[in-house]
C-alpha cells in the first residue's frame, strides 16, 4: 500500500497560514477523489480542500480552531499501490515513525459472545459476590423547624448547595450528630413534597455549563472588534430624522416602478445621500493607517453593508456607489446580501470598503453605538423607523421618525465635523428631492 500526504495548500494572496474550521472526514473513513476533506478560513473567505486520490484516511493533524501554516501535512491517505494484494506490508520500526500494526484476530460470533461474558464477570467487584446485608439507615426525623436564631449545623458544601437552591437550612431536618445536616438530608428535603414551599415542585437549579469554542468567522469578528475598540477612540453622534416625506416617495416609486427594477428600501436613499455628503467632507470617506500616520481619502465611495448571516456578521461592499443611481444601488445591495447569506460572496466582494452602514432593520432599537470597521474612520448606524409625535411649532403631529447613530474615529474626525456630516444627511433625507438634484 502507498500513502498520499495531503498538505494545506497555498490559498492565495500570499497567505502563509489558515484556520482549520471544519473536518469532513475522520481516521478510518474511505474517501473518493474530489471529496471534500476539510475547510479552512483565511480573512473572511472559506476554502474547501478536496481529496486528490481515493483511499482510506489513516492520520489526521489539527483540531478545529487551530491555525496551520501553508504546506503542513494535515492528512495521510492510504491508497492501493502497484502490485498490492490488499495487505499492509510489514514495516521496520522507525520507517515512518509509527508503531507496528497488529493484525486483528477474527473470532466466530459465538466465541466472541462467550469471551465477552467472561470479561464482564471478571470486572464485577468482589464485594458484590458476598455483600453484607445493608444496614437500614434511620429515617430523617421530622423535627419541627428550629427556633428563631438557632443556627443549623451543616458543612460548607451543604450550605453552598442550599444557598444555590434557595433553601433555608433551618427548615431541613438533620440526621447527623446534634442534628447535623448532610447532603442526603438535603436531597431528601428537595425530593419531598412537604418542603414547606421553599422550592416549588419541578423547579431545580440548572448547573449545566456548555463550552463553545470561538473559531472560524466568529473568531475573525472577535479579533476585528477587539482591534477596532482597542485602537480607535469612538465618538458616537445620534440624530433623529423625519422620514415621512422619504417614505411617501419610496412607496410611490415602488408602486410605479418599471419591470425589472428592484424594490427600494431605505438603504439606497441613504447611500445616495452619503455620496453627496461625503463629496463635501472627503475626510470621512477615508482609511487611517495609524502605524504610518497617514489618512488616505478616497474619491470612490465604497460602502460596506453589515449583513447578518448564519455564520456571523459579514460586510459585503458596494463598490463605487458614486457611479450608481438609486436603483443600481438597490440591485447591488440585494445581490451582495444574498451572496453573503448563502456563502457565495467572493473575497473581493467582502473587502475594500471606505465607510460602512450598520442596520438591524426592525430590530434596530432607538439608539445604538456601532463599532467602526477598522481601518475606516466612520460608520452610520440605522435604527428602527417608528411613528412618533412630532412638534411642528403649533401642535403635535404623527410623523415617521428614525434615528441615525453614527460613530467616528475621534483621532482624525472632530466632533464638529461629525455633526456637520450627520446634519447634512438629515437635510437630504428629510427633503429627499435634494438627493436627486445633480450639482
Active site residues: 410, 414
CA–CA gap between residue 118 and residue 359 (Å, rounded): 67
CA–CA gap between residue 199 and residue 205 (Å, rounded): 10
DSSP labels, 47-106: EEEE-SS-EEEEEE---TT-EEETT-EEEEEEE--TT--SSPPP--TTSSS-PPPPPPPP
Q: Is the peptide bond between 375 and the residue preceding it cis, with omega within 30 degrees of 0?
A: yes
- Report which of 367, 402, 365, 369 is spatially closest to residue 387, judged by C-alpha positions: 402
CA–CA gap between residue 435 and residue 439 (Å, rounded): 10
Q: Is-contact 269 250, C-beta < 8 A?
A: yes
Neighbours of 266 (CB within 10 A): 18
Residue 116's alpha-carbon distances to 31, 104, 113, 120, 183, in angstroms, are 33, 17, 5, 6, 38
Cell of 61: 493533524
Cα dihedral 314, 319, 325, 328, rounded to 10, equals: -60
Beta bridge partners of 378: 408
Q: At 169, is the secondary structure helix, strand, or coil?
A: helix
CA–CA gap between residue 338 and residue 334 (Å, rounded): 6
Cell of 34: 474530489
Neighbours of 223 (CB within 10 A): 11
DSSP labels, 3-35: EEEEE----STT--EEEEEEE---TT-EE-TT-
Residue with cell 401642535: 395
Q: Is-contact 266 249, C-beta < 8 A?
A: no
Amino acid at each position: 500500500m502507498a500513502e498520499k500526504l495531503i498538505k494545506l495548500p497555498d490559498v492565495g494572496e500570499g497567505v502563509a497560514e489558515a484556520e482549520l474550521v471544519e473536518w469532513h472526514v475522520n481516521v478510518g473513513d474511505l474517501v473518493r477523489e474530489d471529496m471534500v476533506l476539510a475547510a479552512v478560513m483565511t480573512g473572511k473567505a472559506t476554502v474547501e480542500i478536496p481529496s486528490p486520490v481515493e483511499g482510506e484516511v489513516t492520520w489526521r493533524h489539527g483540531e478545529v480552531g487551530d491555525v496551520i501554516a501553508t504546506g503542513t501535512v494535515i492528512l495521510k491517505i492510504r491508497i492501493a499501490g502497484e502490485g498490492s494484494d490488499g495487505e499492509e506490508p510489514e514495516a521496520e520500526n522507525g520507517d515512518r515513525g509509527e508503531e507496528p500494526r497488529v493484525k486483528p484476530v477474527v473470532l466466530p460470533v459465538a466465541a466472541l459472545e462467550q469471551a465477552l461474558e467472561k470479561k464482564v464477570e471478571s470486572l464485577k467487584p468482589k464485594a458484590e459476590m458476598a455483600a453484607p446485608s445493608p444496614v437500614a439507615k434511620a429515617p430523617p426525623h421530622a423535627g419541627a423547624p428550629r427556633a428563631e436564631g438557632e443556627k443549623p449545623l451543616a458543612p460548607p458544601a451543604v450550605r453552598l448547595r442550599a444557598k444555590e437552591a434557595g433553601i433555608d437550612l433551618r427548615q431541613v431536618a438533620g440526621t447527623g450528630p446534634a442534628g447535623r445536616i448532610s447532603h442526603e438530608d438535603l436531597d431528601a428535603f428537595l425530593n419531598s413534597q412537604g418542603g414547606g414551599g421553599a422550592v416549588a415542585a419541578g423547579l431545580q437549579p440548572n448547573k449545566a455549563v456548555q463550552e463553545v469554542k470561538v473559531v472560524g468567522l466568529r473568531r475573525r469578528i472577535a479579533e476585528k472588534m477587539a482591534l477596532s475598540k482597542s485602537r480607535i477612540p469612538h465618538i458616537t453622534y445620534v440624530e433623529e430624522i423625519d422620514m415621512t416625506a422619504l417614505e411617501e416617495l419610496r412607496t410611490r416609486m415602488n408602486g410605479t416602478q418599471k419591470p425589472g427594477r428592484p424594490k427600494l428600501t431605505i438603504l439606497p436613499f441613504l447611500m445616495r445621500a452619503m455620496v453627496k455628503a461625503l463629496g463635501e467632507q472627503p475626510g470621512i470617506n477615508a482609511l487611517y493607517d495609524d502605524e504610518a500616520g497617514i489618512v488616505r481619502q478616497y474619491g470612490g465611495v465604497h460602502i460596506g453593508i453589515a449583513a447578518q448571516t448564519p455564520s456571523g456578521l459579514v460586510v459585503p461592499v458596494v463598490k463605487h456607489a458614486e457611479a450608481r443611481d438609486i436603483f443600481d444601488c438597490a440591485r447591488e445591495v440585494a445581490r451582495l446580501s444574498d451572496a453573503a447569506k448563502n456563502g457565495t460572496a467572493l473575497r473581493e466582494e467582502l473587502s475594500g470598503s471606505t465607510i460602512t452602514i450598520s442596520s438591524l432593520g426592525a430590530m434596530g432599537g432607538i439608539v445604538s453605538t456601532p463599532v467602526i470597521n477598522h481601518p475606516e474612520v466612520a460608520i452610520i448606524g440605522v435604527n428602527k423607523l417608528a411613528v412618533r409625535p412630532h412638534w411642528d411649532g403649533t401642535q403635535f403631529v404623527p410623523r415617521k421618525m428614525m434615528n441615525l447613530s453614527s460613530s467616528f474615529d475621534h483621532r482624525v474626525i472632530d466632533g464638529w465635523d461629525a455633526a456637520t456630516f450627520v446634519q447634512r444627511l438629515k437635510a437630504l433625507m428629510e427633503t429627499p428631492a435634494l438627493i436627486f438634484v445633480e450639482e
